[in-house]
């Protein structure tokens, strides 16, 4: 909220003045009201591996994160460039593999990657798009310095929290919206439906039937699955609700069977089709991938997109952007050391106490080492892990992430944040202005994931 000179930055001027005028105790009362709203709506997430915490109320912070119109235009350009390059990369590695032929990326990084799906080789998805719904995690380290921390191209989550955060803030603080020109986010569900309809399979005639496919109520993001299905006005289904007959996909309904054209799947590749992936999966539909390859149904996002958000591939993203766009990256990567390369691994092992180490397939804040906050025992444990499986890890410097004010038990205090804008890709690239701001609510923490004690904020993009 403040610049390096200590003065309030222009986008926050009205908010800072409003905060100064509020009577003592107001924010505490509003926080309690917000918690009641979220509890009533059932806005929860699940934490795996904790028997006593099957569902939790996602922490919501009252103080919005504000982005100026000029800052958003810069981010928008960089994000669009990046998602176009990512989809071009996915198309290439499942077709001619020009980037490998050109020696820009090691072949073994593709072929030996668990996220690479041979079943997708040679397949031509509608509009040549593999990843239609993408979340790009962005961090800020200076006034005009933004870095991409991570790409999420498989089944990115969090957009429901973005939408519900805005609804809660408009209910709690209508006077703030009267004094700011804030770009809306409420049209995301209609844009999502438009994106899905644009990639209907060739066999579809008339208006396509869309479903959201969930693993079930025990999935950590089930609230979001049901929320998006409801907002789009489509059915929420599990694998057991779907079956193939006569070369087409159908869902069982109380009115009889109905043909399905598009699946927005929120289920991992391995569980989609027991005939193609894991044979022990009971969550998917036998024969679904063959039906997809035959052009009878569209799966969004496509199987095999996970290789593009692999953290080992992330290290090559600047080269990937240059290769497919002919341009310099607008948004930079965080400098990344690949532990599979001997000289880079030596540097990592010598500086573990200063670095952040991540599993290449890790997510949710799990499987990480934050060197400056780690104990000697934790560092030595990771040293052994890296030595045993170097290809499984990358390392990055700890960045001086920007902070935003957060409401804590002691009042307003700075907490580290990141930003996940949500991108929709079909006949064009669409972004809703803003995204999900995640906040590390623990003092000094850099981990914003809700599974690791993080929370969320409303994100305001100001109009000119």
Query: Residue 43: what pLDDT?
Result: 75
Query: Residue 331: what pLDDT?
Result: 96
Residues 274 and 305 placed together within one structural domain of the fold: yes
Query: Residue 55: what pLDDT?
Result: 64
Query: Residue 399: what pLDDT?
Result: 83
Q: Would you say residue 2 lies in a domain?
A: no
Q: Is the pLDDT of residue 53 over 90?
A: no
Query: Residue 3: what pLDDT?
Result: 83
Query: Residue 6: what pLDDT?
Result: 85
Give per-residue pLDDT as tens, 340-399: 899 999 999 999 999 999 988 766 556 789 888 889 999 999 999 999 999 889 999 988
Residue 347's CATH number: 3.30.1490.270
Residues 246 and 364 placed together within one structural domain of the fold: no
Q: Would you say residue 245 lies in a domain?
A: yes
Q: Would you say residue 114 lies in a domain?
A: yes
Query: Residue 30: what pLDDT?
Result: 94
Give per-residue pLDDT as tens, 67-104: 999 999 999 999 999 999 999 999 999 999 999 999 99
Final residue belonging to a domain, choices 351, 372, 398: 398
Provide the pLDDT confidence category of residue 406 given band limits of 50, 70 and 90: very high
Query: Which stretch of 3-7, 104-108, 221-225, 291-295 has the lowest confidence by average pLDDT?
Result: 3-7
What average pLDDT does the chain have?
Answer: 92
Q: Is the pLDDT of residue 285 over 60?
A: yes
Residues 288 and 350 placed together within one structural domain of the fold: no
Residues 434 and 342 placed together within one structural domain of the fold: no
3-state SS track over the chain: CECCCCCECHHHHHHHHHHHHCCCCHHHHHHHHHHHHHHHHCCEECCCCCCCCCCEECCEEEEEEEECHHHHHHHHHHHHHHHHHHHHHHHHHCCCCHHHHCCCCCHHHHHCCCCCCHHHCCCCCHHHCCCCEEEEEEEEEECCEEEEEEEECCCCCCHHHHHHHHHHHHHHCHHHHHCCCECCCCCHHHHHHHHHHCCCCCCCCCCCCEEEECCCCCCCCHHHHHHHHHHHCCEEECHHHEEEECCEEEEEECCEEEECCEEEECCCHHHCCCCCCCCCCCCCCCCHHHHHHCCCCEEECCCCHHHHHCHHHHCCHHHHHHHHHCCCCCCEECCCEECCCHHHHHHHHHCHHHEEEEECCCCCCCCEEEHHHCCHHHHHHHHHHHHHCHHHEEEEECCCCCEEEEEECCEEEEEEEEEECEEEECCCEEECCCCEEEEECCCCCCCCCHHHCEEEEEEEEECC
Q: Would you say residue 216 lies in a domain?
A: yes
Query: Residue 5: what pLDDT?
Result: 84
Query: Residue 60: what pLDDT?
Result: 92
Residues 369 and 321 placed together within one structural domain of the fold: no
Residues 371 and 284 placed together within one structural domain of the fold: no
Domain count within the chain: 2
Query: Residue 47: what pLDDT?
Result: 54
Residues 298 and 330 placed together within one structural domain of the fold: yes
Query: Residue 362: what pLDDT?
Result: 67
Query: Residue 69: what pLDDT?
Result: 96
Residues 18 and 46 placed together within one structural domain of the fold: yes
Query: Residue 54: what pLDDT?
Result: 55
Query: Residue 450: what pLDDT?
Result: 67
Residues 311 and 393 placed together within one structural domain of the fold: no
Provide the pLDDT confidence category of residue 410 given band limits of 50, 70 and 90: confident
Residues 82 and 225 placed together within one structural domain of the fold: yes
Provide the pLDDT confidence category of residue 7 given band limits of 50, 70 and 90: very high
Q: Would you say residue 283 lies in a domain?
A: yes
Percent of the chain with pLDDT over 70: 95
Q: Is the pLDDT of residue 44 over 70?
A: no
Interval 167-183 mean pLDDT: 94
Q: Is the pLDDT of residue 420 over 70?
A: yes
Q: Would you say residue 32 lies in a domain?
A: yes
Of the two residues 441 and 94, the one the predictor is more confident about is 94
Q: Would you say residue 296 lies in a domain?
A: yes
Q: Would you say residue 240 lies in a domain?
A: yes
Residues 74 and 15 placed together within one structural domain of the fold: yes
Residues 268 and 372 placed together within one structural domain of the fold: no
User: Range of 378's domain?
Assistant: 335-398
Query: Which stretch of 190-199, 346-355, 399-408 has the lowest confidence by average pLDDT?
Result: 399-408
Query: Residue 236: what pLDDT?
Result: 98
Q: Is the pLDDT of residue 290 over 90?
A: yes
Interval 1-5 mean pLDDT: 85
Final residue belonging to a domain, choices 355, 377, 398: 398
Final residue belonging to a domain, choices 372, 398, 424: 398
Q: Is the pLDDT of residue 25 over 60?
A: yes
């Amino acid at each position: 909220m403040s610049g390096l000179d200590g003065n309030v930055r222009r986008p926050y001027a009205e908010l800072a003045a409003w905060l100064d005028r509020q009577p003592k105790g107001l924010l505490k009362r509003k926080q309690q009201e917000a918690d009641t709203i979220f509890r009533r709506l059932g806005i929860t997430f699940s934490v795996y591996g904790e028997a006593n915490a099957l569902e939790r109320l996602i922490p919501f912070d009252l103080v919005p994160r504000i982005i100026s119109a000029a800052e958003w235009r810069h981010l928008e350009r960089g994000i669009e460039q990046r998602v176009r390059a990512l989809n071009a990369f996915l198309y290439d590695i499942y077709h001619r593999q020009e980037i490998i032929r050109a020696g820009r990326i090691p072949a073994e990084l593709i072929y030996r990657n668990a996220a690479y799906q041979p079943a997708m080789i040679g397949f031509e998805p509608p509009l040549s798009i593999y990843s239609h719904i993408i979340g790009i995690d962005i961090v800020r380290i200076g006034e005009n310095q933004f870095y991409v921390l991570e790409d999420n191209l498989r089944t990115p989550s969090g957009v429901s929290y973005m939408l519900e955060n805005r609804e809660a803030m408009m209910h709690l603080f209508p006077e703030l919206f009267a004094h700011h020109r804030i770009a809306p986010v409420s049209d995301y569900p209609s844009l999502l439906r438009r994106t899905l309809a644009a990639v209907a399979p060739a066999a579809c005639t008339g208006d396509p039937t869309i479903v959201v496919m969930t693993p079930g109520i025990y999935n950590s993001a089930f609230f979001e699955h049901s929320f998006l299905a409801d907002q789009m006005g489509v059915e929420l289904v599990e694998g057991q609700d779907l079956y193939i007959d006569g070369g087409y996909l159908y869902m069982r309904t109380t009115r009889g069977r109905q043909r399905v054209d598009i699946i927005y799947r929120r289920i991992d590749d391995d569980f989609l089709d027991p005939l193609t992936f894991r044979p022990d999966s009971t969550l998917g539909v036998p024969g679904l991938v063959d039906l997809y390859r035959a052009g009878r149904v569209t799966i969004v996002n496509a199987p095999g997109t996970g290789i593009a958000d692999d953290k080992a591939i992330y290290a090559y993203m600047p080269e990937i952007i240059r290769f497919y766009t002919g341009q310099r990256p607008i948004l930079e990567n965080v400098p990344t050391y690949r532990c599979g390369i001997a000289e880079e691994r030596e540097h990592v092992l010598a500086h573990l106490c200063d670095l952040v180490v991540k599993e290449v397939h890790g997510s949710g804040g799990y499987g990480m080492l934050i060197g400056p906050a780690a104990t000697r025992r934790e560092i030595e444990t990771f040293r052994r892990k890296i030595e045993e499986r170097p290809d499984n890890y990358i390392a990055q410097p700890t960045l001086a992430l920007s902070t935003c004010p957060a409401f804590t038990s002691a009042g307003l205090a700075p907490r580290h944040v990141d930003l996940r804008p949500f991108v929709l890709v079909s006949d064009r690239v669409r972004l809703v202005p803003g995204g999900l701001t995640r906040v590390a609510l623990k003092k000094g923490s850099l981990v914003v994931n809700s599974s690791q004690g993080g929370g969320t904020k409303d994100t305001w993009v100001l109009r000119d």
